[in-house]
Structure 1
Amino acid sequence: MPEPTPVLPEVLSQIRALPASGRPLIICDVDEVILHLTTHLEDYLHSNGLMFLKFEYRLTGNIGSKKTGTSLNATEVKQLLMSFFDEVSPHQDLVPGADTALHSLSDDWDVVLLTNLPGAHNKPVRENLLAAKGLNYPVLTNSGPKGGAVAALASGRPSPVVFIDDSPTNHNSVNASLPSSIQIQFIADPRFLTSMTRAQHVDLLTGDWQETETFISSILSAAKTS
């Protein structure tokens, strides 16, 4: 089991700027959860003579030349992603049902969006895009595993805390840092969803926002009747 991840100082300062609240909390990722990522990235790869080598959850070693199949190294993948986000961040499409589900859930829950978005200059771009789609929730930018940030966000709040993310790395990190959280692994692209096996600490593996809304709503209903 991974060790708990400390929260980064730059993330903690964003968390401290949030208003105090005693409501239950949903901490939700953006890419591949609220906004499509893999379909945009695949188009970008193809336009640059590249492709996913397999539909599995990793980037380094899984992006390569369409002609030769030779994979990019870690540095090349990082540079590619920086360029990709600079180009595509203003135009990402909404995952169907994300807006409706979060609006409904926000009647009873606070919603905070926690995203690993490369490039500080892309944060206002992302905030503007989400606002244009009616998703006016606080956006916090993180780097690396999210466990420390999630634990810091949950500190001083009543349970339950729900964490929604596509990345198995982030779910492992949150399980180490805040094992009491309810974890939903959401993967919008069905090709990547079907390649994923649900880990024991993940409470729901899904790519459907209606299923996600129903599952989260049932958490408070169960708490009220217990």
Structure 2
Amino acid sequence: MPEPTPVLPDVLDQIRALPASGNKLIICDVDEVILHLIRHLEDYLNDRDLMFLQYEYRLTGNIGRAADRGVLSADEVRRHLLAFFDEISHAQDLVDGADRALGALSDTWDIVLLTNLPGSHNKPAREKLLASLGIPFPVVTNSGPKGGAVAALAANRSGPVVFIDDSPTNHSSVQASLPSSVQIQFIADQRFLAAIEPETHIDLLTGDWQETAAYIRSIL
């Protein structure tokens, strides 16, 4: 189990700017949870004669050339990801049911969107897109494992905290930093969902927002 992750100073500044509240809290990822990511990234890769080598949760070592399956270097993957987010952050598709589920839950829960998004210039585009899709909740941008940010968001809350994310790394980080949280691993892409073996700290593994909303309601 990893050690608890400290919250980054710029992330803490964003969290401190949020309205104070002691209400129960849902901390929700964006990519592959609210907005599709994998289908857009696969299109981006295919257009460049690249591909996922396996349906598993890693990018470095898992993106290669379609012609010979040659693996891209970490620097090449990073460069493509930066270009990809610049290209798609304003135009990602909504995961079915995310708007309805979060809208209904927001009647009784505070909701904060915690997203790892390269390039601070992409945050306004993401906020605008989410708002246009009926998801007007505050967006906090993070970098790296999310445990420290989740613990900071949960500070001074008396009610339960639910963390929704697709990444095994982020869930492990949250387990180390805030083990009392309810952890929902949500993966919209059915191929990647089917390939996941959930860790014992995952309370629900799903790719369905109706199931997710019902589970969160059952917590109370």
Give the TM-score, by structure 2 length: 0.99
1:133 aligns with 133
Q: Distance in 2 between matches of 1:145 and 1:109?
A: 24
| Matched letter for residue 207 of structure 2 | G
Match runs of 1:1-226 below 5 Å: 1-220=1-220
Give the root-mean-square deviation of aligned CA atoms.
0.5
* Structure 1: gaps spanning 5 or more residues: 221-226
Query: Is residue 55–residue 191 contact of structure 2 (8 Å, CA) maintained in 1?
Result: yes
1:177-221 CA-to-partner distances (Å, cap 9, x unmatched) read 00000000000000000000111001000000000000001111x
* Structure 2: gaps spanning 5 or more residues: none
Partner of 2:89, secondary structure, is: helix
| Matched letter for residue 73 of structure 1 | S
Q: CA deviation at 1:98?
A: 0.2
Partner of 2:130, secondary structure, is: helix
| Matched letter for residue 61 of structure 2 | G
The number of residues matched between the two structures is 220
Query: Is residue 22–residue 159 contact of structure 2 (8 Å, CA) maintained in 1?
Result: no
Give the TM-score, by structure 1 length: 0.97
| Matched letter for residue 81 of structure 1 | L
Between the aligned residues of both structures, percent identity stands at 71
| Matched letter for residue 103 of structure 2 | H
| Matched letter for residue 214 of structure 2 | T
| Matched letter for residue 16 of structure 1 | R
Q: Distance in 1 between matches of 2:173 and 2:73?
A: 24
Q: Distance in 2 between matches of 1:159 and 1:23?
A: 6
Query: Is residue 183–residue 201 contact of structure 2 (8 Å, CA) maintained in 1?
Result: yes
